[in-house]
Amino acid sequence: MFKKGKQKALICFKRWKRRPWAAFASMGKVIMIGVLCVTYSLLVMNSQPLAAQSKSTNETLIQLEELVINTERPTPFQPLVRVVAIIRQQEIERAPVQNIQDLLRYIQGTDLRSRGTEGVQADINILGGTFDQTIVMINGVNYTDPQTGHHSLNIPVDISQIERIEILQGPGAWSEGSAAFAGAINIITKTPQKGALAASLSGGSYGFLRGSANVGLASETFSGRWSMAGQAGGAYSKGDGYSDNTDFEIFNAYSNLTASNKTGHTVNIQAGYQQKAFGANSFYSIAYPEQFEKTRLFLSSATYMWESKRVQISASAYQRRHYDRFELFRYESPQWYKGHNYHMNDIAGVNAKAAFRWNKGGTTIAGAEYRFEHIYSTVLGDLMQSPRPAPFEEGINYTKSKERETFSYYLKHILLLERWRFTAGIMASNSYSTTRVYAGLAASYQVTPNLEANGWLNNSYRNPTFTDLYYKSPTQTGNMNLKPEEAIAAQIGLRLTKHNLRAAVSGFYRYGYSIIDWTRETGSDQWSAGNLTNVATSGFDVNANYNISESIFKRVSLSYTWLNVTKEIGNLHSLYATDFLRHKILAGLDHKIISKLEARWDLSFQKREGTYLGPDNSEIAYKPFMLADFKLLWSGKNITPFIEVTNLFNTDYLFIGNLPQPGRWLKCGINVTL
C-alpha cells in the first residue's frame, strides 16, 4: 500500500453512520478505531455506534465531511465506481432557487433548458444528450415519462424534502434494469434522524407567492423491534407571469417512510401527487402564443430489503400515472381547430435482485426487472375499438392507445483489489419482441491517498417515446417506423479529494447511431421525427470546490464544460440532438458579511450551438450570455429570513428559441424549523 510518511493526526469517530463511504485512505489520515477492526467494519457497515479510543495529548478530534460516491440505485456492501456530480443538502438550502429544476442548472455537465419558470417545465440534458435520453429517478426508482421527456421533471418532491441530488454522467443501460442513454438524475429524499417541523413562506416579483410545510418523524423503537423514520409535506406556488400567458399555479405533496429492525429487514414506502396549470406562451411553436397546459401526477413505490453479513435480497414495485391536457388555443380558437390534446400515461414495474459477498472475490449481483408503459390519448397511439372516458375532463373520451413491455435481466460483479476497484456488468433487455444485450465496465485506481484515476465504457439504447412515434400537429409529424437509438460511450478522469478540496477532470466520448431527433429544412417550420445516421459527441469537464473554515469566505467553486457534436444529416436543422451547449462556466462563492448574515453568489456563462427559426422564418444563431444570481440570508437557529435575486443584471437570454426568460426577479421570505 502507501508508504509511511510523517505521523498524521489521529482521527476518532464518535458515531458510525449507515452511509456509502469512500476508502479512508483518500482522506490522507491514519484511522484508528477500537472494538472492531477497520476491514470488518468497512465490509459490514452496520449502523452500530463504535467505541473510539480516548483522546490523548497527541490526538486530534476532527469532524469529517460525509463522503457519498454511490450514484446509482443503492448497491449492497460496496461503493460503485462512477464519475458523478452531487448537490448536497447544505448547498441546496443556500442556493438562490426554490424548485428542483432551477437547482439542476448549477451542476456541471448539465444543460437545463427552461420553457417556463419556477418549475413549470424544463428539459434536462447531460453531456450533450437530449432530454429524452436522461433518466429521472426518486430514491432509485425510474419515473422517466414514456410520453415525452418534457414531463420527466414533473417531480412532486419539494426542494426542502431533498437530502441530495446525484448525477450519473454517461450511460449504464446494463445497470440494474435501467436504460440511461446519456445519464441519470437520482433525487434522494431525507430520512429524518429526529422529529421536526419546517415551514417556508416567500413572495416576490411578477405576483410570485410560495408556501411549504414539512413534518419529519423518527422513532427509535416501534413495537419493541422496529425503528421508523419519514416525512410528509407539500408546497404551493403561483405567479402572474413575467410576460403574456406565462402565469402558473403548482401544488406538490410527497411523503416517504422507512422502517428497519436489527435483524436486517428494511421497508421503504414513498408516494407523491402534483398538479400544474400554466400559460405556455409559444412553448412548441411561435405561431401559436396562446398555448396552455395542465398536468396531474400520482406516483408511489414500495421496497423491501433483507441484509446479512454476506447476502442482500431486495424487491420493489412502483407506479406512476400522468395526466396532460394541452391547449393550442387557451382562449378563442379558429374553426379548423379540432380540440385540445388529452393524454393519460402509466408506468408500472417490479424488480428483484440478490447480492452475495464472497470472501475475497468481491460482490456479485443478479436481478431482473419488468416494466410496463401505456398511454391513452386523443392523438397518440393506435385507434381503439371502444373510446374510454378521460378522468377530470367532462365529455372527453380517449380514442387511441398504445402499450409496451420491457423485460430486463442483469448480472454485475464488484471487486476490490488493493488500490483497484472494478465494476463490470451485462444486461439483456427484451422489448418490441427483440432482445438486445448491453455491457459495461468501470474501474478506478487509487494513485495516492488523495488522487483517484477512473474510467468507464458502456453501450446503451433508448426506445422512442410515444410522442416520437405518433404526435402530429400543424408544425410536427411523428414517425411510427422509428427504431431504438443506440450508442457506445467512454469516459476517463481524475478525482482529487484532500481536506476541504474536491476537484475533478474528465474527458468524454459517445458515438450514437440511429439517433432519434426532430429535424426541419432551412426556412421551414415543419418538424418531423426520424433516425439520424450518426452523431458523435465529445468533450471534457473540469471542476473544483473548496470549503473554507474559520474565514469570511466559506465556499468557492468553479467548473467548465466543453462539448462538440458532429452529425450526418445534410442540410437539415436539428431540434434536439445537435442543438447543444458548447461552453458552460459556473462560479460560486459563499461568504459571511457580519455575525450570522451570509451571502451566496452564482455566476454562469453559456454559449449554445445551433439556430432557431425567428418570426420572419430566418435562421437565428443563439447568443452567448452570462447570468448572476444572489442570495442573502440570516442563519438563525430556528428562523432564517432570506432575499434572493435571480438574473441580477437583467440580462436578455434564451434557453430555447423564441422563449425569452424573465428579467431581474426579486424574492424574499422566511424559513422556520421547530
The model's confidence at residue 3, banded by pLDDT at 50, 70 and 90, is very low
CA-CA distances (angstroms) from residue 334 to 1, 170, 230, 288, 327?
A: 76, 45, 51, 11, 13
Given this model, what pLDDT does residue 539 score? 95
Closest listed residue to residue 413, CA positions, set 344, 367, 378, 466: 367
pLDDT (average), residues 321-349: 95
The DSSP output letter for 660 is: B
Cα separations (Å) of 563 from 47, 126, 385?
A: 43, 11, 48
Most confident by average pLDDT, 31-35, 562-566, 663-667: 663-667
Interval 261-272: pLDDT, tens: 888 999 999 999
CATH architecture, range 84-673: Beta Barrel (2.40)
Percent of the chain at pLDDT > 70 equals: 85
The angle at the Cα of 115, spanning 106 to 566, to the nearest 5 degrees, equals 70
Q: What is the pLDDT of residue 173?
A: 55
pLDDT over 60 (residue 49): no
The grid coordinates listed for 361 are: 472475490
What is the average per-residue pLDDT within 204-218?
Answer: 96
**CA proximity to 320, closest of 582, 534, 138, 67:** 138
Q: Which amino acid is at 398?
A: Y
Neighbours of 394 (CB within 10 A): 6
How confident is the model at residue 207, as a pLDDT?
96
> What is the torsional sign of CA 155, 158, 163, 165?
positive
pLDDT of residue 183: 86
Q: How far apart are CA 22 and CA 42, in angstroms?
A: 10
> DSSP string of 341-374?
EEEEEEEEEEEEEEEEE-SSS-EEEEEEEEEEEE
pLDDT of 205 higher than 60: yes
Q: How confident is the model at residue 29 (pLDDT cuts 50, 70, 90)?
A: very low
Q: What is the three-class DSSP state of 672?
A: strand
What does the pLDDT read at residue 103? 92
Q: What's the pLDDT tens digit per position in 383-397?
A: 999 999 999 999 999
- pLDDT-based confidence at residue 4 (cuts at 50, 70, 90): very low
Residue with the bigger pLDDT between 37 and 657: it is: 657
**Residue 171 clears pLDDT 90, i.e. is over it:** no
- At residue 27, does pLDDT exceed 80? no
Distances 496 to 45, 444, 457, 499 between C-alpha atoms, Å: 24, 13, 21, 10
pLDDT classification of 174: cutoffs 50, 70, 90: low
User: Stretch 54-82: mean pLDDT, rounded?
Assistant: 40
Measured CA to CA, the distance from residue 404 to residue 466 in angstroms comes to 10
Taking alpha carbons only, the member of 389, 112, 115 closest to residue 245 is 115
What is the arithmetic mean of pLDDT over 321-325?
Answer: 98
Q: Are 343 and 377 in contact (CB under 8 A)?
A: yes
Quick one: average pLDDT of 637-643? 94
- Provide the pLDDT for residue 82: 59
Domain residue ranges of the chain, discontinuous segments joined by +: 1-67, 84-673
Of residues 542 and 46, the one with the higher pLDDT is 542
What proportion of the chain, given as a percentage, has pLDDT over 90? 59
Contact between residue 575 and residue 569 where contact means Cβ atoms under 8 Å apart: no
Q: Pick the more confident residue, 227 or 252.
A: 252
Q: Which whole number is the average pLDDT over 612-624?
A: 86
Most confidently modeled range among 20-24, 79-83, 513-517, 605-609: 605-609
Tens digits of per-residue pLDDT, 658-672? 899 999 999 999 999
Residue 81 has what pLDDT?
A: 53
Q: Is the pLDDT of residue 5 over 80?
A: no
Which pLDDT belongs to residue 318? 97
Q: How far apart are CA 82 and CA 183, in angstroms?
A: 11
Element (DSSP H or E) covering residue 275: strand 265-279
Mean pLDDT of 525-545: 89
Question: Using 50, 70 and 90 to split pLDDT, how confident is the model at 48?
Answer: very low
Beta bridge partners of 453: 445, 494
pLDDT of residue 533: 74
* pLDDT recorded at residue 41: 32
- Average pLDDT in the chain: 85
Model confidence over 403-440: pLDDT tens digits? 999 999 999 999 989 899 998 989 998 887 788 888 88
pLDDT for residue 169 = 78
Which cell is 95 given? 442556493
Q: Pull the grid cell for residue 349.
A: 414495474
By CB atoms closer than 10 A (0-12, 13-18, 19+), residue 466 is buried
The C-alpha cell at 321 is 400515472
pLDDT score for 124: 92
Angle at 157 between CA 152 and CA 160, to 5 degrees: 135
Q: Is the pLDDT of residue 327 over 50?
A: yes
